[in-house]
């Protein structure tokens, strides 16, 4: 049974890149464009991991991460923030909001599948 990845990303090109990359590794990809769409999806699907863009329309990724982690049925799903933010203090903000790790954009196509696999296997190690 393929592992499920909930990809929350509003940029079409980034969403397509990650989808192609992870489908090639055998993952099932569930796509959401907004935080509201992601929360709706989480009521019916249980992904193994969440890849979360921080800059989303309507509800930003940090707020969404807090909401996901505050729910008993979703609090244990690892969240990896995928972000262009690289300013001092941003990593701490992401981790404080409930993200388990973050990867920066542009996406490194070699390391992203390894990072996803490490969290799904419960190692949680970044290369």
pLDDT (tens digit, 9 = 90+) per residue, 10-23? 999 999 999 999 99
Q: In what order do the strands lie in the sheet with 49-53?
A: 28-32, 4-8, 49-53, 79-83, 101-104
CA–CA separation, 119 and 14 (whole Å):
21
pLDDT digits (tens, 9 = 90+) for 85-117: 767 777 888 889 999 998 888 999 999 999 999
Output 101-105 pairs: Cβ under 8 A, ≥24 positions apart: 101/126, 105/14
Q: Which residues of the chain form beta strands (DSSP E)?
A: 4-8, 28-32, 49-53, 79-83, 101-104
| Percent with pLDDT over 70 in the chain | 95
Domains and CATH numbers, the chain: 4-120 (3.40.50.2300)
């Amino acid at each position: 049974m393929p592992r499920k990845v909930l990809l929350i990303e509003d940029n079409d090109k980034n969403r397509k890149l990650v989808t192609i990359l992870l489908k090639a590794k055998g993952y099932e990809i569930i796509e959401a464009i907004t935080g509201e769409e992601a929360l709706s999806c989480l009521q019916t699907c249980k992904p193994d991991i969440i890849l979360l863009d921080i800059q989303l329309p309507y509800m930003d990724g940090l707020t969404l991460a807090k909401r996901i982690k505050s729910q008993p049925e979703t609090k244990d799903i690892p969240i990896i923030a995928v972000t262009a933010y690289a300013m001092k203090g941003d990593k701490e903000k992401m981790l404080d909001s409930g993200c388990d790790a973050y990867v920066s954009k542009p996406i490194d196509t070699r390391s992203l599948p390894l990072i996803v696999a490490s969290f799904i296997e419960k190692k949680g190690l970044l290369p």
